[in-house]
Amino acid sequence: MRPVVVQLSASLDAAANRAAVGRVLDAVDPAQRPDVVLLPEATMADFGRHDTDLRPLAEPLDGPFVELLLRQARRLGTTVVAGMFEATDDLPFNTLVAAGPDGDLVATYRKIHLYDSFGYRESERLAAGEVEPVTVPIGDEVLGLMTCYDLRFPELARGLVDRGTDVLAVPAAWVAGERKLDHWRTLLAARAIENTVGVVAAAQCGRGYTGHSTILDASGVVLAEAGDEPAVLTADLDPEALRATRETNPSLANRRMGATGVRP
């Protein structure tokens, strides 16, 4: 799998964000044959202040942000995944949308674990999604979707792996703070190592976010990492290397607790 990972800084201006996303995706060369382009959580519009009402910013799944992703996915002939606030009759969902290479919406994942931590209350502004792991087929491989704070819950990653996931996708707006970058790096590596899967993480940067989007292989080796400025990363995640890692470290096959549905 060849991911392209986009690190950017979104604002509360949805039109400006769409223009910025359009420029970044226009610069992706289809000749590179990316299998997936991953953008951060809240790319459609940022969270703003802790008390910003997100309902006026939210859009439906047939709104202009998703339309942009569908159009770009069709142009690139690849899957594009990005985060948005999805409109409802009440609080919005924090949603990842996956636009397929044919220009169709192939999956939506509504964030399960809301960031009620470190003095923040995401649940006051957003609704939690159903507890159901969501995967996206990418050719012969499977991408598993997680959002930001989900990274701190290993049971979700394991549930995705039990549904055949080869690579975990983690769009995020990881809030900066004491040791938060250490947490980010450690948890990304842990999810890769304990599940023997690749991990691709697209993070927001600027305005109090950590940045450091990262691509890791199934043994937890960092193949590419951004700093704290806008960036575009790419690296090849070799399925043969994943299989070799699982032969060397067959921890999934050796499980004795909750081992269901794991592919060989």
Q: What residues are annotated to the active site? A: 41, 111, 148
Query: Strands across the sheet with 222-225, in order?
Result: 135-138, 141-145, 167-172, 198-203, 214-216, 222-225
Q: Are 81 and 37 within 8 A, CB to CB? A: yes
Token pair, residue 146, equals 């997680």
CA torsion through residues 72, 77, 80, 86, sign: positive
Measured distance CA(59)–CA(36) in Å, rounded: 23
Cβ burial, residue 48 (10 Å; 0-12/13-18/19+): middle
Q: Are 192 and 218 within 8 A, CB to CB? A: yes
Cβ burial, residue 257 (10 Å; 0-12/13-18/19+): exposed
Token pair, residue 51, equals 């008390």
Among the listed residues 49, 47, 66, the one whose alpha carbon sits nearest the alpha carbon of residue 57: 47
Token pair, residue 195, equals 């599940």
Measured distance CA(232)–CA(25) in Å, rounded: 10
